[in-house]
Amino acid sequence: MNAHFVTLPGDGIGPEVIAQAIRVLEAVADRFDHTFSFEEELIGGAAIDAHGAALGLETVEAALASDAVLLGAVGGPRWDDPNSRVRPEQGLLGIREAMRLFANLRPITVFPQLADASPLRPEILRGVDILFFRELTGGIYFGESGVGEGSAYQVMSYTEGEVARIVRMAADSARTRRGKLTMVDKANVLEPSRLWRRVTTELIAAEYEDLDFEVVLVDAMAMYLLSRPADYDVVVTANLFGDILTDEASMITGSLGMLPSASVGLDGPGLYEPVHGSAPDIAGAGVANPLATILAAAMALRHSLNLEQEAAAVEAAVASVIASGLRTPDIAAGGESVGTTAMADAVLAALSASTE
């Protein structure tokens, strides 16, 4: 296969972790007889410094012409002027909109060897493997808003089509996993949630009767993620609820440095990134954990290129390295640790050993 990746290293540790993910993708191409090419573009603070805007037209055009986009991170204190109308985060929102990405996929997987890094008890963590589908382009974040005399408002609005397309995507994924789908809403008080519940229930009954389907209220789900997270397989929910719940769920693993994320649409390339931020406090120190970005590259192989075997090989290599005891500082719990490049070197060695 020939595939073209656009890389958006961005700010802080973004360039460091993207560089290691590229090394892994190059190794995958070599061992599985593919040809991958890479094109770097600017986004976030780096783009502001170069062009005065967080996202340029050339970056959008390159992303749309690619097979997959790999993003590092955006933002940092040097661009945090509250009076500025140009912010690095505008680049992330802009590229998602330009690429028509409406579904955010965030896997929450616990590596048994890292259980001690989690604030939850080990017995609660056993078997946790959740895939969240967060609606990304609708809801309260994109609703009509305004500020009045001593008041403010923001409208939460959804259409049937917006709900159906992400529920269908999540249900299709559940069929390839453990066959369980959970939809999270607040239908007891919110009218948009009642739309979500009606559309989802009708769709599952008509097209996905084979799934184990349930509905959970968002406040209950916030508690269940801490008390029995292993009960869940695929979870689909609206933008606001997904934003909050996935951040909560990310702490189950004990480190943001281990979590990848994907934003996809019905067609065209997807956008793949680590969940962690730009971490400007350690930028340039060579100690950032590259594993989330490497796992994001594996998601790109699976979801944009349909290369399941290759994606699984990368994920198995990461699991092997973690099982061997190698740690970057964020997951070392104060013990011995290695740097960014050494961790990626170990993943490459594990990948090589598994594909010989």
**Would you please indicate which residues are annotated as catalytic (active-site) residues?**
141, 186, 219, 243, 247
The DSSP code sequence of 313-354 is HHHHHHHHHHHHT---GGGSTTS----HHHHHHHHHHHHHHH
Tokens for 24, please give them.
């892994």
DSSP type of residue 83: T
Amino acid at 168: R
Q: Where are the beta strands (DSSP E) in the chain?
A: 2-10, 35-40, 68-73, 103-109, 129-135, 145-148, 151-154, 180-185, 212-217, 234-237, 260-264, 270-274
Alpha-carbon distance 225 to 231, whole Å?
Answer: 9
Residue 200 exposure: Cα atoms within 13 Å on the Cβ side:
28
Contacts of 320 (CB under 8 A, 6+ apart): 350, 354
Query: Which region, left, alpha or beta, applies to residue 267 given φ > 0 means left and ψ of -120 to 50 means alpha?
Result: beta
Write out the two tokens for 280.
């400007």
Report CA 112 to chain centroid distance, whole Å: 21
Q: How many C-beta atoms lie closer than 10 Å to residue 248's C-beta?
A: 15
Q: Buried b vs exposed e over 131-162: b needs ≥16 C-beta within 10 Å?
A: bbbbbbbbbbbbeeeeeeeeeeeeebebeeeb
Torsional sign, CA 53, 136, 159, 63: positive
Q: How far is CA 223 from CA 227, 239, 258, in A?
A: 6, 19, 23
